[in-house]
Amino acid sequence: MTLPTVPYGVTNLAGLIAWLRTLAVSIAAGWNVQHKPDGSHGVVTAESLSTGDATVSGLLTTNGQIKFPSTQNPSADANTLDDYREGTTTPTSDDITYAATSELKWVKVGTLVTVTYRLVWPATADGNQAEFDLPIPASAAASNRGGSVCNTNTAGSTVAFVVTGQKAFLRSISGAAVTNATQSGQSVLGEMSYHAAN
């Protein structure tokens, strides 16, 4: 279906109604609409939706879906949603290799990142503090914030992860560092949220 060119300053009501009907059918068929009111254009095409400097190109795809670009285009406006991403990954650490049954699932909406995790420690005598790499780095302002306190630890204790930079560090509920050796052969299940820089 070819969308019509719309002259600005349309005065024929019958012609305008006919064009609006065609436009409605085109949108229902899944077309995106381009409308540039700068006086030099009056074109409706199937490529994008633009108004002056504001462009929605490739954002609205399949009916009921909004697609954000793979590389975020950050906005300084606190009221503008500029990112959505989600993923599943295997957790990593500087000091140990988590068991194959370990998993991170995460969702990023704007700057808010939520991570659901299952961490299974191998048998280890490593004395370093237990930690894992975050899927999205935390903002500097979020350092020592976020994290979670309602974890299921097979060692029988309640623990919490605290976010700092690119990592989440495991601590006891009293705030003491928990080592990999303490977690040897154990697992932790939980969910945490924190803010990314963008």
pLDDT winner (highest mean) among 39-48, 120-129, 134-143, 170-179:
120-129
Q: In this predicted structure, what is the pLDDT of residue 26?
A: 58
Sketch the domain layout of the chain as residue ranges: 1-63, 84-195
Q: How far is CA 190 from the centre of its chain?
A: 19
Range name among 29-43, 88-102, 145-159 with the lowest pLDDT average: 29-43
Q: In this predicted structure, what is the pLDDT of residue 15?
A: 61
* pLDDT at 27 > cutoff 60: no
Residues 6+ apart with CB under 8 A from 7: 42
Tell me what the pLDDT averaged over the chain comes to.
77
* pLDDT at 59 > cutoff 80: no
* Collapsed DSSP state (helix, strand, coil) of residue 4: coil
- For residue 103, what are its two tokens? 């998993």
Q: In this predicted structure, what is the pLDDT of residue 89?
A: 97
* pLDDT at 47 > cutoff 50: no
What percent of the chain lies above the pLDDT cut of 70? 60
Largest Cα separation within the chain, whole Å, is 83
* pLDDT at 188 > cutoff 70: yes
* pLDDT at 36 > cutoff 80: no
Q: In this predicted structure, what is the pLDDT of residue 83?
A: 92
* pLDDT at 23 > cutoff 90: no
**How far is it, in rounded angstroms, from Cα 144 to Cα 138?**
10
Q: In this predicted structure, what is the pLDDT of residue 116?
A: 93
pLDDT winner (highest mean) among 49-53, 91-95, 143-147:
91-95
What percent of the chain lies above the pLDDT cut of 90? 37
Cα angle for residues 181, 184, 186 (degrees, 5° grid): 135
